[in-house]
Chain A
Amino acid sequence: MATGPVSCNDPLMAAHLHRWPPISSFDGMIGQAVRGGESTRRQFVCRSAMLALLSSCCPSSSAALARQSDLPFQEIEDGIHVRYGLQEAMTADNHGAIANIGFIIGDESVAVVDTGTTYAQGESLMAAVRHVTDKPVSHVIATHVHLDHCFGHGAFEDAAPVFIGHHRLPGALSERGDFYLEQIKTLSLDGAETRVVQPGFLVDDAAEIDVGGRKLLLKAWPAAHTDNDLTVFDTRTGLLWAGDLLFVDRIPIVDGSINGWIDVLDELMPGDVSQVMPGHGALGSGREAIEQQKAYLVSLRDGVRAAIADGLDMTEAVAELADLAGPNWLLRDEGHGRNIIAAYAELEWE
């Protein structure tokens, strides 16, 4: 672990930063009827405030400033710790720290769920674990192949946990790994040690792991957000870690199957789920967010089907549906056009 971030993780700092980003700011965003801009600015203000806080009381503040991947962890439920990702596009400035990552502590050991975009983010996660417990990290779970979720895995290799992923994760990593590593190089100065870690344990359909008096149920889904989405259900608290099967406030990205995702959303929340941790955005009951996401995906599907039926080609469909009515997602411009393309390529086969 590098020196800078460690000193930022001392107990006093943790107390200061405990509830960042403030839940209220996320609540505010849910109600906001604006496109990207305003909320992104608000997030930026939050982040700046936090960095100011870091620089005022953290001895190696310049290192902290240079490494904005060191966002704080907070305990959001009994033994469940999360680092909320920024609701921003991935940039060199934020080191691609945009996804929610964290860990779940059992009586015997710790299971990590996603590790972020870089080796350094993985290191920060490991430091956050060590800050609250001495128990070993027994499992490191990847919710899916995307670079903002499982490219900090390398920092856990020395601890020799079981790396777990969807049965299609190895193929996806082999196809995308080098490409993502290239992107990470341009995103992050601390990306040098970042590497691809293939899972050692694959989930075909469902699996159960035990971290000591705490069973975690893993489920591998059919193609939806990607073709290798894996969720983690904590039986102790009823919290479902949904990964990118759920985006809150931020535009969902179709990189697997739009039809599959719409179907998966109907099954994502069995009755025993009390809360849902999305891959991006705030923890919540999940129900409203799932409805909002589903409404968007359904209207996208309807629009693209109509465009195909009208004989529009892919490029024409993107233009035709650019202003498709729907939720005022954060980062809409980053995702809507590509969602149309992905949906088109899938739906023209119906």
Chain B
Amino acid sequence: MKLSTSLRFAISAWLLLLVILVMPAGHPALAQDNKAWTEIRSELYGDDRTIHDGSGLLEIEAPDRAQDAALVPISIKSMIGPDDERYIKSLTIVIDENPAPVAGTFHFSRANGIADIATRVRVNAYSTIRAIAEMDDGQLYMAETFVKASGGCAAPATKNNAQAMARLGDMRMRQIGEWEVDQPAEVQLMISHPNFSGLQTDQVTQLWIPSHYVNDLAVSIDGQEILTFEGDISISENPSFNFFVMPQGEGELTARATDTKGNVFEHSWPLRMGSAS
């Protein structure tokens, strides 16, 4: 069979078009990432604010592959030099491909000493995870990493809803490492909460009720607020947060959490100096 030149041209043009169309599909995550991020960025910061490359100032760590989509440990380390007068005012975590991409925002004060954070998030799909720091002078810096989704039956969902509900609002506070006056010291704060991301039926009314999660957290020491957090359903069941404080001696740490049903949970713990477990 012979093809006319024009037909042949038409076919090769089509092939070329096909190649162009198919090419980005080879990197679907990347292509989607950019689109998702463009929208999220615009919503969070508008289109005219510059976001600087955060390398050297900010580092985000997450496993290459999420072992369990429901519990992906991530940590963000700040590396502000001793000569830098600025401090990180807030840190926002974004998981591009999640249904609610903004996992949450931490607001710091100088009383944190170091603006490091560790928590656990749900990751729905192959996704870029970003940490965007806003300095006290208003400048924005971003660090990012890429997490491959877990396979199998893992799902970004609750594992033991009943248990989390049975001790709903229970909190734990752990002092980590050596605690000295005026030296940055690490705290782990845990809240028992399903952070339920689906719909469930109300046992009494039989109506579907929406997601139920911790959306607000405030931490203070001796009445002075040092850290607040606004969160969403991308934070794992039984939310856990590691952060730093600058202890001024023995004192009392108070955490106050609220959830989307308006429940308020508040706990206080004494802070001890010296070697903690």
Per-position contact with B for A139-164: 1 when CB-CB < 8 Å, else 0?
00000001110000000000000000
CB-contact partner of A338 in B150, B161, B162, under 8 A: B150
Categorize the interface residue count of chain B.
35 or more
| 30 contacting pairs across A/B (C-beta < 8 A) | A90-B152, A170-B200, A172-B157, A172-B158, A174-B198, A174-B199, A175-B197, A176-B198, A179-B155, A179-B156, A180-B155, A222-B162, A223-B160, A227-B159, A227-B162, A255-B153, A256-B159, A257-B159, A257-B160, A314-B120, A334-B152, A340-B67, A341-B71, A342-B70, A345-B71, A345-B120, A345-B159, A346-B160, A348-B190, A349-B167
Contacts of B120 in A (CB 8 A): 314, 345
Cβ of B238 and Cβ of A176 under 8 Å apart? no
Cβ of B190 and Cβ of A223 under 8 Å apart? no
Cβ of A342 and Cβ of B198 under 8 Å apart? no
Per-position contact with B for A153-197: 1 when CB-CB < 8 Å, else 0?
000000000000000101110111101101000000000000000
Contacts of A271 in B (CB 8 A): none
Cβ of A148 and Cβ of B155 under 8 Å apart? no
CB distance from A193 to the nearest CB of B (A): 21
Nearest CB to that of B63 among chain A residues? A315
Per-position contact with A for B191-212: 1 when CB-CB < 8 Å, else 0?
0100011111100000010000
Per-position contact with A for B125-152: 1 when CB-CB < 8 Å, else 0?
1000000000000000000000000111
Cβ of B159 and Cβ of A223 under 8 Å apart? yes
Cβ of B153 and Cβ of A146 under 8 Å apart? yes
Inter-chain CA distance A170–B277, complex, in Å, is: 41
Cβ of A182 and Cβ of B125 under 8 Å apart? yes
Chain B CB count within 10 A is highest, among A223, A255, A260, for A255
Inter-chain CA distance A271–B125, complex, in Å, is: 45
- Given the known inter-chain contacts A90-B151, A148-B153, A345-B71, please indicate yes or no for A171 contacting B161, CB distance below 8 A: yes
Q: A171-B198, A223-B163, A338-B68 are in contact. List 5 more A-B contacts (CB 8 A).
A: A313-B242, A314-B71, A340-B67, A345-B71, A345-B238
Residues of chain A at the chain B interface (Cβ within 8 Å) = 89-90, 146-148, 168, 170-172, 174-177, 179-180, 182, 222-223, 226-227, 253, 255-257, 260, 311, 313-315, 318, 334-335, 337-338, 340-342, 345-346, 348-349
Cβ of B153 and Cβ of A179 under 8 Å apart? no
Contacts of A256 in B (CB 8 A): 159-160
B154 beta carbon closer than 8 Å to chain A: yes
CB distance from A258 to the nearest CB of B (A): 10
Inter-chain CA distance A174–B4, complex, in Å, is: 57
Identify whether the interface residues of A are mostly helix, strand, loop, or mixed. helix
Contacts of B155 in A (CB 8 A): 175-176, 179-180
CB distance from A229 to the nearest CB of B (A): 12
CB distance from A133 to the nearest CB of B (A): 31
Contacts of A346 in B (CB 8 A): 159-160
Inter-chain CA distance A342–B67, complex, in Å, is: 10
- Given the known inter-chain contacts A182-B125, A315-B63, please indicate yes or no for A349 contacting B238, CB distance below 8 A: yes
B113 beta carbon closer than 8 Å to chain A: no
Inter-chain CA distance A175–B158, complex, in Å, is: 8
- Given the known inter-chain contacts A315-B73, A341-B71, A349-B238, please indicate yes or no for A175 contacting B157, CB distance below 8 A: yes
Cβ of B277 and Cβ of A311 under 8 Å apart? yes
